[in-house]
Each structure stands twice: as C-alpha cells, then as structure tokens.
Amino acid sequence: MNDIVFFYPATVTLTPKCREQISEYVELPNDVFVFASRFKEQILMTLEPGDDPPVVKWSYEESAELNHVLPSIWDFIEEELSAEEEWRKRRKK
C-alpha cells in the first residue's frame, strides 16, 4: 500500500493526469475513473459506472492494452488491506 497512490485528495487529480500520461499508448473512455497509480507505470481504473465495478489495469509493459484484473473494486481494496496486514505481521517479528 505504501507504493500506490489511491488516497484522497490525490485521487481527485489522478484521472486527468493519467489520461495525459498514457495518451500516446491508449485512449481512455470519457467516463473512466482512475483510482490508483503505482510509480506512474501501473494505473488501475474502472470503465463502468456502478457501486462495484470491475478493475482494469494499464501498465507500461503492456502499453497498448487495458486488462481486466479484478472482478470488483472491493476485491482490490481487500487485497491491499490483506497485504498491509501481512507486511505489519512480518515487521513485528
């Protein structure tokens, strides 16, 4: 979680920043919502409206493609929280 930008207020500007950043590789739809960025080389977004949309990823390695990586934005949140808990447990040892 420490290397991913996905907290408010940073998320407010992620969509326009990332749209510009990857415009030479792929065109993002108008209703895209970018909610996370990792070192500006991996971007997570939703392309569908709703309370629990699937997560799509763009990465520098696969720059011409948008790939569905998780069925739900809540899956992303749960995975990040689990990873953080594991990291904290290991750190205490």
What are the tens digits of pLDDT across the range 53-91?
888 888 888 777 888 889 988 898 888 889 889 988 988
Asked if pLDDT for residue 6 goes beyond 60, the answer is no
Asked if pLDDT for residue 46 goes beyond 50, the answer is yes
What are the tens digits of pLDDT across the range 25-42?
888 888 888 888 877 677
- Tokens linked to 1: 């979680």
What distance in Å separates the CA atoms of residue 46 and residue 56, rounded to the nearest whole number?
6
